[in-house]
Every structure is written in C-alpha cells, then in structure tokens.
A and B are shown apart, each in its own frame.
Chain A
C-alpha cells in the first residue's frame, strides 16, 4: 500500500517528538541529580516487532544498547514468563540482557491498541548506586558480575497498571541511596507512560494501517539515507587498533577493528580483540554497538532520524568471549564508560582512514569517572577532557567527549549536599597536543573530604599512553591522579584505583588533553 508521504512525515515527526517528550517526562519526574541534572538517561519507542522507531538524543552510550537490550530482554521474558501482557511494566538491569552495566536500569512498557500489541516504550536511566563492593557500584576489581551489585533479571515493576511494591523494595534494599532508587524508578515509569500515551494518540487519530505504513516509510527512508551516507565515504578496507590500559596501567587490552565499506554497506570485524578480562572493563555487545553507531552517525550525517533502518546496512562481528562481547558473568561496570570510549576511538580511527577530512584527532579518551561515598551517601561524576583537534578548528578544552554528554554538578550544590570541598576546577593549560590545529586542554578537578571517612574509586584511562595526534599533530598529554594530604605531601594514584579516603585528604584529577591535527604549531 502506498502511504501518503505527507501523513507519513507528520507521523514520523510526531514519533520523534514523543521520544523527546518521554525524556522530558523522565527528567521532570526524576528524583536524583543523576537524571535530573546530569541527564544520564535515554528513551525510545519501538514497534510491535521490537524495532526502534524513535529515540531521543541523549547519551550516546545508550544509543545502540537500548534497541539491542529490548530485543534480548523480550526474548528472555518470553522464554521464562510466556509473554508480556497489557498493564505490565518490566524492569531489568542485567547487562547481558539490557545492554550496559548494572547502574543502568531499563524499564519497558508493552503498548496495546485495541487489544493487540502495538509497540513498546522503553527508557534507561543511570542509578547512582545499585549495591556492590563500592559506593557508586563501579569498582576497579570486581571479579564477576555478582560482585558488582544487584543483578535484576526481567521482573515486573507493574502488573495490571499498579506498581509491584516488592520489585521496588528489592532495589531499595540493595542500594546505598534507597530513596533515590524509588524516586528514579517512578520517573522512568512516568517516561514510559508518556511515550505510550503519545503512541496510542497516533494510532487513535490516524489508525493502525496509516501509522504502520508511516513507520515502514520512516525506517526505509533512514536506511536509504544511511546507505547513501556510507557510500559517500568511499569503498575500502580500513584497519585500526588501540588499547585500553589494564589495572596496572599497561595498554594490554587491545581493540582491533577491520572496517570494510562497500557499496553503501559497512562491516565491522573485531577479530584480534583481546579476550575478556576478570575485572570490570568488559563491554557487553550492546555497548560495542553504541560506539559503532555513535561514530558512524557523527561522521556521516547526524540528521538521519535514528531508527531501525539505520542499522540495516551495518554488520557487526565481535567474537564471543572478547573484551567487546564478553560472556556472562564477566564483570562490566567500567565497560560502558572506559571501554566504550576506546571503542569509539577505534571506530573513528578506522573512519578517519576512509575520510580523513571528516574525523578529528583523538580526544582525551577517558570519562574520568569519580565515585565517592560511604554507607549512606554516594556521589558519581565524570570529568571532561581535551577534545581532539578538528581538521579546521582547535579542539575544545575540558568538555565531555564522544560517548558521554552528562552535565556537571555545580560546586555550590556538591558542597551543600556532600561532605566535600572542591578546591580546583580549571583547565590544565598546555595539555592539548600542538599541531596545525591544537588539541583541547584537559581539566583539573580537586575534591577534599571535609569530615568522616569515605571510599573513593577512580576509573580513568590514557594515563600511560598519550592520546595520539592525527596526521602529524602532536599527542595530547596523558592524565594523572594524585592524593594530596593535609600536610601537603602528594602521592601519585593509578588511573584505576579504589581506596579508603580520609577527611582532609584531597583527590586531584587531571584529565588528558586532546591530540593535535596536522603538523606544525598553529595555522599558517
């Protein structure tokens, strides 16, 4: 049936807007700063077959993982519970089903129209603490998934449109910040309810056949545009590799990629990637997909509406049991922060070989995770680093790059709400790599514990290996961690460490600078 193109356009626009509105609903209703301030969440709508039809543009690392997670979670529900039913809302955080790490809790709502399954509304939000050995739940040394925190298989959060209190209790009982758990879960429910309402409005208004036709049309249009964008990169085989630093600081965790571009299709082959590791740097397959789609989108055409059609011309092979496709129950806490960042770097590196004028030099290459807390408080933040220089502009300093885009927490809010004093927050001048275009500088962030004792976990990378420059540009300066005691003595800390933290001690983080682009020092 040939769909009315205008109506299709209107419906497609309405679906994208529904995704945005879901995001706003989650944010509005959220309780904790993580979602409300840092916007660490993503929302999407799917059709009855579980295909992505609209996604709001929030955190790139959720981008590919939410669709992958939905498919796997539905399969698990159907295998274990029969099927989903009207009035239900499902919650899951098992990374091997839902696609990132334990902190990211996914909530799924099956949507029914006139008794038939019409689609799904789903959203994923970062919960600050889900138990495990360290506050913030992202450790440097958990040996398996179980040590990382509460693992929730698909459970009903709602049944018959009523919250299942036992499920909420489970989250609360396992978290250092129980009130924020129930608050954020409630917000996630609100987000899905909004998505469901909008989807049903479209079905009511235009009828199922028109909406279905519009969806097919939108998926096909995105596929067409993605193929055209891939074709524009030119054909070829492009190899790229990089490494993540292991807990000893050595760059042994190799990520190897062969990108094959041919006639509008792209194949990503990760053979040669290091085997999975017994500490939390493994990235589940969903995270790997996120890195690929982020890089592709950014390099080709970010205006292509993100839906299942974009995925069709892209084929991904990651051998099982590797760092980027680990087997359960390998630990994954840091996988979707550090490993996903490095994966994005590798994909960009490969794309740079295909289209050098479109890809910037390497950015700082770490999310610079800081997790602080005690038995009754938990604080998580990520620090920006230096952005790699672009072909026609310097890199920006002190900014969230690539796979993350969360907002910082105001110093004046941190100091009110936590036993912390921020003693510095400024650029680290001169850390960006020189070149025809200069890499951005990293950041310095220093926090002092004002009273009591706490635990501090730092998870960063590019402390040993400098972020490489591109096409003759200089490397950026690697990052560094330090502990400064009250008497002024300094102790260097590893990129990945976890330790007791005493009042009066200051933790100092310096994030890496971005690589320069092109030879020389400055333009002209």
Chain B
C-alpha cells in the first residue's frame, strides 16, 4: 500500500505492506485509508503479500508515537483499535508531508475507496513533548465504516469517556489509548458473523463500480476496468470488497451490468464474433443486409453500412412460404430440410439463426428446421425468430435473431467464466444480469437471450432514478446523466420507466437520436434514452465560420481535459475550472491533481480565436454544451408528448450536478435531486432493479372484432408463462405483480402505442384513443383500433437481502469560499462539503457543494437542502 500526503491539501497515503499475521491491522489500515479517501494500491493485498513496512522516518515516528519498538521486518502492532490507528496515521501524515503518488504499481490500477477526504490534519507539539494529533475529515454518505463511528470526533469522545470511566488506564503521551488484544479479537469475531450482503457490480468503460449493501451503511468502491477481460475487473472489485472486511461468502446475490454484448457488436476489445449462418425463406436472403434500404447519413458520399453479422455466402434460402395468416403457401419438404442441413453443416457455424417470413403467425416451419439442425449439429447454438422475437416486420425480427445468435457464444463464455471465477473465491451467490429494459435476469436465462443485454449499461441510471422517485413518492422524474464523454437522459413518467420497443445496437446517434440504418436493429424493450456527445471531456473549438462549437469529439479520460496535463484540448471541464466551478488543483475529492493554468491556456486560445475574454469564452462553452444537453432532455419529454415542467430532474454522473441548474432553468423545471452517490448512481440502479419477465404474442386483430373472452384467452397463457419464468428466476411467489399490455394502433397505421390491456376490448380501445391524443395531439375515435401484440409482464422484488442504505456519519464542515465567474464577474461563493450539511439545512445559491465523486453547483435563485440522503435543489 502506498499512502502519501500532500501537506497542502491534506490528502495522503501510508507506505508499506501489511503482514499476514496482522491481517486485521492490514484491513483496518486499508479501511482507514479508504475512509480517509486516501488512494491506496491494493496490489499487495490482492496478491496475498501482506508484509507491513513503513518508511524509515515513518517508522521512527510510529515508534515514538506508540512508545514501543517497531521492527521494520516484523509484524506491526495488531492490537490497536480503529480510533487509535487513525490517530497514529494522523500523526504520521502530519509529520511526514510526502507528495501524493497516484500511479499504480504493475498496472493493476488504483483502488479508489473513499468518499471521506482527509481535510485537515493538526498536530500540536506541547511544551512537555507530547504530540497531540487530530484528524478532520469529511465523511460521505454510504461508505463503509467498519465500526460505524465517526473516526474523528467520536473517537475522541470515546477516548475521553473511557478516560473518565477508567482513570487508571494508561494513556500514551500522544493522547491515544492502547487497547488490549482481547478487544481486538472480539471485534474480529463480530465481523466474521457479518450480515448477508447484496452486491451490485457495474462494468463501465473506464471503471468497474461496486456497491454492497447489508445492514448498515453501504460500501462503494471503484476499480479500473480491464477492457479485454472484463470479468477480471469484476473479480478484483470483489477482492477489494473482501479487503474491506466483507467475507465473500456472506454475499447472497450479485447484480451485474455488463457491456460485453455491445462491445462485441462494436468489434471492440478483440471479442470475436462467431461465424453465423442465417437460414431464411428463399428469395429473401438479403433482407437482413438491405435493411430499411435507407442511408443512415443523407449527404455522406463515403457512407458505409454495418458489416453483416451473417455474410452473404452464409445466408441460405429455404424453399418454403407462409402467408400473413399463417397458412402454408409452399410446404417445407423433408428433402429440402435435409439439403439445408447439409449446407449449414458444410459451413461449420459458430451459431445459427433461423428466420422465415410470417413465422410469428405460424412457427411450424421454423421449429422443424430448428429441430433438424439441432439434431445434426449438437452443441451449436440455434435461435429461431418465432422464439426470440415473435412480432411482425421481418427485417427487425430477423436482425434481432441474428444478433442474438452472434452474441450467444461470447456472452455464454463470459458468464460461465465469471461464475467459475466466483466459485473459485467462495462466492456462492447467484449472479443476476441487467437487461436493456432495466429488469434483472439470472445469468442462465441472460445467457440464452444475450441480445437483451445490449444497452443495459446506461439503463442503470434511469432505474436508480425511478427508485429514488419511488422513495420520495414522486411520479415523474427525468434521469440526467452527464459523465466524461456523453450526456444521457431517460424518463420516468407516472412512476414507470419509459421504454421503447426497438434500438439500433452498435449504432450511431445524430442530434441525440439513434439513427436508423447505422447499427443492427434489436427489438427488445429498452430504457428509452437520448444520448449526445457532451461531457466533461468534450472538446470546444472554433469552426471556419468563426463560430464556437462544442463537440462532438471528446478527449475522454485519456488524454483528457487540458488540466490533466497530457494534451491541450480545451474541454467542458477546463471551462468549468476557469469559471471556478471546479477546484483548480484537484478533482475527485482532492485525490486527482490537475493544473488550472493549462485549462486557462487552452481556453485562452479559444478566446483569442473568438476575439473575446477568457471568462466569456469559458462561459460560452458551458452555455453551448448546456443548450445541447437541454435538447437531449427535450427529446425524451417533448418529443414523447410529455411536458418537462411536470418533472423533477435527477442529476447524476460526475458532471450532472454541476450543470443541472442551467438545464432546469432552460426547461422550466423547478426541482432537482442529487442522489447520495452521483458518480456511482448506475450501480445503485442495479441494486434497485427488480426481476422482470415478459411473455408476448402477436394478435393483429381489431378490438371491434374480438369476441367476448377472446382477449383473456389470448393473454392467459402469456400470464402463466411470465409467472413461471419469474419464479424460475428466484422470485418470491407472494410478491409477484402481473401486468397486461397491448401494442395498439389505428388500422392502416404502422406505429403502435402501448396501453394497459384488461379483458374489456372496448376499454383497451378507449385507452388507446386517449394515449394517442396525449402523444400525438389527436385521436380518431371512429377509426378501427387494432391490437398488434399482447403482452404479460411479471415483476417481483429482488430476492434476498433488503438494501438498507443508511446515511454515513456526520462531520461538521469547515467553511470555505471560492471565486466563481457569474454574469460577467468573479464572485466569492460559499464552498460547502456535502457531508457537512445537516438534514434540512438549506444552502442558498450561488454556492458549490462538493463531495468525492461530484460537485453540485447551486445557481443564483436556487436553494439546496439536504433531505435525508438526497440533496434537493428548488427555485
């Protein structure tokens, strides 16, 4: 472990390796470092090398502080309680003054474990030689505190109390008490019988986030993602959790969001897609490549199409034909089946997809083909369109099926590998994976329908926003996520996460909307998000018309904004630094150093090209990126027939709380909520997700034509199937909720709206008229309403442990100010520590509220108030 301290800033680290025999101590030191938001390298712990060694000077100091010998190669004392160790560390830090070193050893990546920042270390040397140490820090919400105590204030109170209770107890000259080993042992035992924990692991592009909840405050941590083998990041996150003192065997479920499906389709990370053979109706083998026949970019003469997942020579036409009623026009003869099987076998496929025209109306031919292929090629995964996506519109159905087939081997391999790694480490918990609609599925099910895992990553944020809305009893919230590269918006209306029925996997977006023809259509419900290239790393530039532009290119995290010191790109983060909204010397709660002068230089270049001042250029960059993000919010509200003024804005991601006020002002939103952990909100979403099982079937009948009872008869088997499916996922039978829906439209139209669907066909039609009017501004009540699909949805709470996300301890905060550029001039603005705000305390804007993983800008006219764990901004 390396812990170093910057005397200026108060962050720091301890240098050394911890001895296995002093495992407890090791864990405590680690935890303390974590608690104090000190960047620690977990390498040595993970490797099992646990020798503790302190630097030369440090050893002397420690020795002096403890009044005992500390042998450089011997175990360090293990019988200090947590408070004592803090004190020791504080003294060390205070007296050491070593510069902070962030780079990991051996490329394993740093383990970021803290939201509590060591803000002040005071050490007093008294005349009699006593050194009294005191640590002031900010304790964030939801982070693990093994002892549940405020390490700073209360530790001191406890010591004073003990001193009062037992005046005879020895007190070391530095003001700390040395405890007897027995106490330590009992603490160890208490920890061993830890409560069951639920763990959420969200694999992102740069970081893998882990959040664990049980009884008591949650533990949250980040490790670096290993892009080529994402399961390694998952395992390391669990190991880091173990290092925090949580026995992995106590985990009773793991909720996981993975980007492996999207990455595979993007051709990233050396994930090789298998050779897919597509078996389809004769005369139509190119439907899957022709797609909708359109160009995804109208003026791009160099346009390309996504590479077909099944190459032309691997697309086999079969002599068969079904009509739209499901009647056979050309029968599928056994000789033809045999011929096709030979053709498929000759290609040695890694996966097979079967898709015939109108198979949603009658699947007999597809089943026969599947059976024959399955018998001839056991072990090769096969999907048929009537099973994967039994809805009409052939291109979208075939595409969904082929994408699913292509992903089967990779996702199966990933989930199996992960399971094996978990088993190896004594983790017996079942693994659940998040799907694109925000529901959770057991890994076994997830691996048979991998196309439903695409787009699950971004869903977590909206799911978490829905849970927050439920907690606060709000019906309508907008989930706004602004990270380093992209800004995303999703909607929760009437308590329900807004879903869309189809997306372009691995596709592009244009002006926030996904572009038809740019990717592979996949028709599963997914959280309807709008996404735009706007984030902290988005690059500002001046075009050859002399206009200031922001994006779409991003500097990402590497090289990152100019202030990272690796390149000169003027980014949104640099603008925020120049304006004073971000700390000029460090990000991430003081642990990530930056150089504001580089921000100023980069922005000055922009200002020069525009002929304006540095501050005006920085303010302009922020204004323009805010206008772009405002558009993204409009896409998921106004364009869906919803009024943003009816919504509260949940702002998260590293940069969301910084830009939220401007967006709310632009859209007429009067209430903003900043969750406890904005930078890890997606992982929180995993914990908040529910089990969800959907069963659907096409109906394609007009409501007026349905006889009494026909609608119920169509839905009954779907209800049974959904219920059985969710029980198989581990749901508790008593807590299953069942819902019925229909996709409806006016006859002659081709876009459907989803409406609740009970047994009364007339009521369903009326619900459709009302929904149509809301969304599109008109209804045609004398027109026939057609039900295209019916659907049964079963949801149930996640089995097992209830998440109990209690707030962390309170730390009084030191008042500070910073100069922020507002409306043409710098003004001194209060700078508050989020953990230092009391429940119900209001902070009037302009103000900055900092925490480890985000900064909230409270604009003039707004007031921020702590409401339990959340920060609420109103105007």
Determine the distance from Cα of A24 to Cα of B530 in the docked complex, in whole angstroms.
14
Chain A positions 214-254 with a Cβ under 8 Å from a chain B Cβ: 221-222, 224-225, 228
Residue of B nearest to A28 (CB): B776
Query: Beyond A190-B777, A425-B290, is A13–B303 a contact (Cβ under 8 Å)?
Result: no
Query: Beyond A298-B299, A390-B302, A392-B302, is A6–B294 a contact (Cβ under 8 Å)?
Result: no
Least distance between B749 CB and chain A CB atoms (Å): 6
Determine the distance from Cα of A20 to Cα of B632 in the docked complex, in whole angstroms.
13
Determine the distance from Cα of A405 to Cα of B301 in the docked complex, in whole angstroms.
13
Least distance between B606 CB and chain A CB atoms (Å): 11
Determine the distance from Cα of A186 to Cα of B562 in the docked complex, in whole angstroms.
51
Q: Is the CB of B294 within 8 A of A224?
A: no
Q: Is the CB of A294 within 8 A of B778?
A: no
Q: Is the CB of B301 within 8 A of A359?
A: yes
The yes or no answer to A407 lying at the interface (CB within 8 A) is yes
Q: Is the CB of B624 within 8 A of A416?
A: no
The yes or no answer to A415 lying at the interface (CB within 8 A) is yes
Query: Beyond A9-B547, A398-B286, is A412–B298 a contact (Cβ under 8 Å)?
Result: no
Q: From the candidates B300, B323, B543, B750, name the one contacting A421 in the complex (CB within 8 A).
A: B323
Query: Beyond A36-B749, A396-B305, A426-B284, is A28–B294 a contact (Cβ under 8 Å)?
Result: no
Query: Beyond A10-B627, A29-B776, is A407–B294 a contact (Cβ under 8 Å)?
Result: yes
Q: From the candidates B302, B544, B638, name the one contacting A393 in the complex (CB within 8 A).
A: B302
Chain B positions 749-775 with a Cβ under 8 Å from a chain A Cβ: 749-751, 775
The yes or no answer to A31 lying at the interface (CB within 8 A) is yes
* Main SS class of interface, B: loop
Residues of B within 8 A of A393 (CB): 302, 304
Query: Beyond A221-B545, A400-B293, A425-B284, is A410–B394 a contact (Cβ under 8 Å)?
Result: yes
Residues of A within 8 A of B287 (CB): 411, 425-426
Q: Is the CB of A224 within 8 A of B546?
A: yes
The yes or no answer to A443 lying at the interface (CB within 8 A) is yes
Q: Is the CB of A31 within 8 A of B748?
A: yes
Residues of B within 8 A of A298 (CB): 299-301
Chain B positions 280-322 with a Cβ under 8 Å from a chain A Cβ: 283-287, 289-290, 292-295, 297-305, 312
Least distance between B283 CB and chain A CB atoms (Å): 4
Q: Is the CB of B511 within 8 A of A426?
A: no
Residue of B nearest to A205 (CB): B666
Q: From the candidates B312, B544, B638, name the one contacting A228 in the complex (CB within 8 A).
A: B544
Q: Is the CB of A426 within 8 A of B393?
A: no
Least distance between B518 CB and chain A CB atoms (Å): 13
Among B297, B302, B610, the most chain A Cβ lie within 10 Å of the Cβ of B302
Q: Is the CB of B392 within 8 A of A400?
A: no
Determine the distance from Cα of A190 to Cα of B616 in the docked complex, in whole angstroms.
39
Determine the distance from Cα of A24 to Cα of B638 in the docked complex, in whole angstroms.
10
Residue of B nearest to A348 (CB): B301
Determine the distance from Cα of A184 to Cα of B301 in the docked complex, in whole angstroms.
32
Q: Is the CB of A31 within 8 A of B392?
A: no
The yes or no answer to B274 lying at the interface (CB within 8 A) is no
Q: Is the CB of A57 within 8 A of B395?
A: no
Least distance between B236 CB and chain A CB atoms (Å): 42
- Kindly state the interface size class of chain B when it binds its partner: 35 or more
Determine the distance from Cα of A416 to Cα of B391 in the docked complex, in whole angstroms.
13
Determine the distance from Cα of A186 to Cα of B301 in the docked complex, in whole angstroms.
35
Least distance between A367 CB and chain B CB atoms (Å): 11
Residues of A within 8 A of B511 (CB): 17, 20
Residues of B within 8 A of A188 (CB): none
The yes or no answer to B357 lying at the interface (CB within 8 A) is yes
The yes or no answer to A96 lying at the interface (CB within 8 A) is no
Residues of B within 8 A of A426 (CB): 283-287, 290
Determine the distance from Cα of A317 to Cα of B353 in the docked complex, in whole angstroms.
56
Q: Is the CB of A398 within 8 A of B293?
A: yes
The yes or no answer to A302 lying at the interface (CB within 8 A) is yes
Least distance between A512 CB and chain B CB atoms (Å): 15
Q: Is the CB of A416 within 8 A of B324?
A: yes
The yes or no answer to A154 lying at the interface (CB within 8 A) is no
The yes or no answer to B631 lying at the interface (CB within 8 A) is yes
Q: Is the CB of B286 within 8 A of A427?
A: yes
The yes or no answer to A408 lying at the interface (CB within 8 A) is yes
Residues of B within 8 A of A302 (CB): 297-300
Query: Beyond A20-B511, A302-B299, is A225–B290 a contact (Cβ under 8 Å)?
Result: no
Q: Is the CB of A407 within 8 A of B516?
A: yes
Determine the distance from Cα of A393 to Cα of B289 in the docked complex, in whole angstroms.
17
Least distance between A475 CB and chain B CB atoms (Å): 19
Residues of A within 8 A of B358 (CB): 412, 415
Residues of A within 8 A of B749 (CB): 31-33, 36
The yes or no answer to B639 lying at the interface (CB within 8 A) is yes
The yes or no answer to A5 lying at the interface (CB within 8 A) is yes
Residue of B nearest to A180 (CB): B748
Q: Is the CB of A33 within 8 A of B750?
A: yes
Determine the distance from Cα of A57 to Cα of B299 in the docked complex, in whole angstroms.
9
Query: Beyond A5-B610, A6-B619, A412-B324, is A222–B301 a contact (Cβ under 8 Å)?
Result: no
Least distance between B415 CB and chain A CB atoms (Å): 33
Q: Is the CB of B293 within 8 A of A412?
A: no
Q: From the candidates A186, A224, A412, name the one contacting B545 in the complex (CB within 8 A).
A: A224
Determine the distance from Cα of A396 to Cα of B308 in the docked complex, in whole angstroms.
12
The yes or no answer to A413 lying at the interface (CB within 8 A) is yes
Least distance between A372 CB and chain B CB atoms (Å): 16
Determine the distance from Cα of A297 to Cα of B300 in the docked complex, in whole angstroms.
9
Q: From the candidates A24, A228, A427, name the one contacting B639 in the complex (CB within 8 A).
A: A24
Residues of B within 8 A of A29 (CB): 776-778
The yes or no answer to A417 lying at the interface (CB within 8 A) is yes
Residue of A nearest to B290 (CB): A398
Residue of A nearest to B612 (CB): A5
Among B294, B393, B396, the most chain A Cβ lie within 10 Å of the Cβ of B294
Q: Is the CB of A399 within 8 A of B294?
A: yes
Residue of A nearest to B283 (CB): A424
Query: Beyond A393-B304, A400-B295, A413-B392, is A225–B750 a contact (Cβ under 8 Å)?
Result: no
Residue of B nearest to A401 (CB): B295
Q: Is the CB of A415 within 8 A of B294?
A: no
Residues of A within 8 A of B300 (CB): 298, 302
Residues of A within 8 A of B619 (CB): 6
Query: Beyond A298-B300, A396-B305, A413-B393, is A13–B627 a contact (Cβ under 8 Å)?
Result: yes
The yes or no answer to B7 lying at the interface (CB within 8 A) is no
Determine the distance from Cα of A405 to Cα of B616 in the docked complex, in whole angstroms.
42
Query: B residues bordering A, Cβ < 8 Å?
Result: 283-287, 289-290, 292-295, 297-305, 312, 323-324, 329, 357-358, 392-396, 511, 516, 543-549, 610, 612, 616, 619-620, 623-624, 627-628, 631, 634, 638-639, 641, 700, 746, 748-751, 775-778, 780, 783
| Extra pairs beyond A405-B295, A407-B294, A410-B393 (4, CB < 8 Å) | A398-B289, A399-B294, A406-B293, A410-B396
Q: Which 4 A-B pairs have the closest CB atoms?
A: A302-B299, A6-B620, A221-B545, A424-B283
